[in-house]
Amino acid sequence: MREKISFFFQKLKLTIFPDVSRNVKDEIIRDNIYRLKKISAAVTAVEIVILTLFCVHYYFAVLHYWRSLVSALTCILVSVYFTVHMTRISRNEISLNKHLLRENVIIILYYGILVFWGMAASLRHYESGEQMLTFFIVEIVFTCFVTMPPLMSIALILSAHGIFFIALELEDGAARISFLNYLALALLLCAGMITRYHIEVRQIRQRIEVENLNKKLEILSMTDALTGIGNRMALRTVFQNYVGGQVAVMMADVDYFKRYNDEAGHEAGDEVLICVASLLTRYFPRNCCFRYGGDEFLVLMKTDRAEEFQHRIDCWQDAVSAASVPGISVPIRCSAGFVVERVESEEELRRLVHKADRELYLVKETHHKSVRGRR
């Protein structure tokens, strides 16, 4: 029995004080902003229609109902302001991310303004013996469309209902309402907002998980599984980053790579490629290095200093020659050809890659003894 009671209180604690990350909380605020932008616009449109019909119906005695007129105009002005504000802030992602907590306070303020407006309108209807629906409509709309943390939901709803009940008590002792029904509605609204919050948290967590998985898959799809550097697919996505500047392109491959596979096995050949790629990232930025295919490697760099690029290549080749790979008894050597030119389009960059490939071919024609470059 004690365990059941302990479990119940633990469950209740997690329901009211759920463990939610900062990212999820921020996403909830963003969703609230996007929804309230539409809700406030809808409230504006509905109130304008109601005000128009009201003026048409009471054409000759509209001033007699000046309080209703002021009430509708107040709601319209407040909703217009929040519609404009929510629209502006939602369009500026940087500003939105910077001021999320402020916007959350504004959402609560909007709730408070509409609740007190609903109280005033419903109290006026109550005095005249009409149905006091406005206050409850405001509460239900926020319950359906706004997501608040459980404790805050309970505090907002119960405080609003408490204040309104006190106003009714001061009016006539709340003689025309059922306290139990009134309390039941408040508790149901609390339960609705708490349930909505937990559903929203679960959906956002699933969404973030899917987004993170997609990012991982995208990274994997653009990373060579063996060497860990970019593959040919990744190369296509970065071409636009090099347009409009001086670009150095190096095409390289491993000399007599087939003999490593034939003499020591494919695993030894894989170790050679891993070693070459690892040393490549030591002398060139990792995001500039790509496995072009097989034993071919490509480097793209923004630079206007061909001598410095040549020096990087020389250092890399020396490091490769000095490296040792288990199962490989002969030194590993790489040939490389490079070009440095200014490119103004992706098509020009593709042609530059082909030029570097031709330079590599010429180097290999000279028995792999030098690096041949052209500016």
What is the distance between the alpha carbons of residues 20 and 18, in angstroms, rounded to a whole number?
6
pLDDT at 324: 84
Report which secondary-structure segment, H or E, holds 254. strand 245-254
Average pLDDT, whole number, for the chain?
88
CB atoms within 10 A of CB 242: 20
Residue 56 — very low, low, confident or very high, per pLDDT cuts 50/70/90? confident
CA torsion angle for 79, 84, 85, 88 (degrees, to 10)? 160
Q: What does the pLDDT read at residue 228?
A: 92
Label residue 20 exposed, middle or buried (CB < 10 Å: 0-12, 13-18, 19+).
middle
Q: How far apart are CA 112 and CA 114, in angstroms?
A: 6
* Residues forming beta bridges with residue 300, ordered by sequence position: 249
Reported as a single tens digit per residue, the pLDDT across 114-161 is: 999 999 989 988 888 888 888 999 999 888 889 999 999 999 999 999
Residue 356 is predicted with a pLDDT of 93
- Per-residue pLDDT at 189: 94
Global pTM value? 0.69
Q: At residue 8, does pLDDT exceed 80?
A: no
Alpha helices in 66-221 (DSSP H): 66-91, 93-98, 100-127, 134-145, 150-172, 179-221
pLDDT at 260: 82
Mean pLDDT across the stretch 70-94? 88
Give the pLDDT mean for 309-321.
Answer: 93
d(CA 277, CA 271): 10
Give the percent of the chain with pLDDT over 70: 98
Domain boundaries, the chain: 2-218, 232-374
- Identify the band that residue 374 occupies on the pLDDT scale cut at 50, 70 and 90: very low
Q: Give per-residue pLDDT as tens, 241-272.
A: 898 889 999 999 998 888 887 777 778 889 99
CATH superfamily for 232-374 is Reverse transcriptase/Diguanylate cyclase domain (3.30.70.270)
- Write out pLDDT tens, residues 210-240: 999 998 888 888 899 899 999 988 988 898 8
Strand, helix or coil for residue 113: helix
- Conformation bin of residue 253: beta by default, left when phi > 0, alpha when psi is -120 to 50: beta
Region of residue 129 (left: phi > 0; alpha: psi -120 to 50; beta: else): left
Does position 367 have pLDDT exceeding 60, yes or no? Answer: no
Q: What is the mean pLDDT of residues 39-43?
A: 89
Q: Could you give the CA distance from residue 309 to residue 31 in angstroms, rounded to a whole number?
A: 49
Span 287-307, average pLDDT:
91
What is the per-residue DSSP string for 182-242? HHHHHHHHHHHHHHHHHHHHHHHHHHHHHHHHHHHHHHHHTB-TTTSSB-HHHHHHHGGGG
**Gap between the Cα atoms of 73 and 79, Å rounded:** 10
Q: Is pLDDT above 60 for 43?
A: yes
Chain center to CA of 16 = 27
Sequence-distant (6+) residues with CB within 8 A of 42 are none
Q: What pLDDT does residue 286 have?
A: 93
**pLDDT of res. 247:** 94
**Res 306 pLDDT > 90:** no
Residue 327: the pLDDT is: 75
The dihedral sign for the CA sequence 187, 192, 195, 201: negative
CA distance 118 to 174: 17
**DSSP H or E segment with residue 338:** strand 334-343
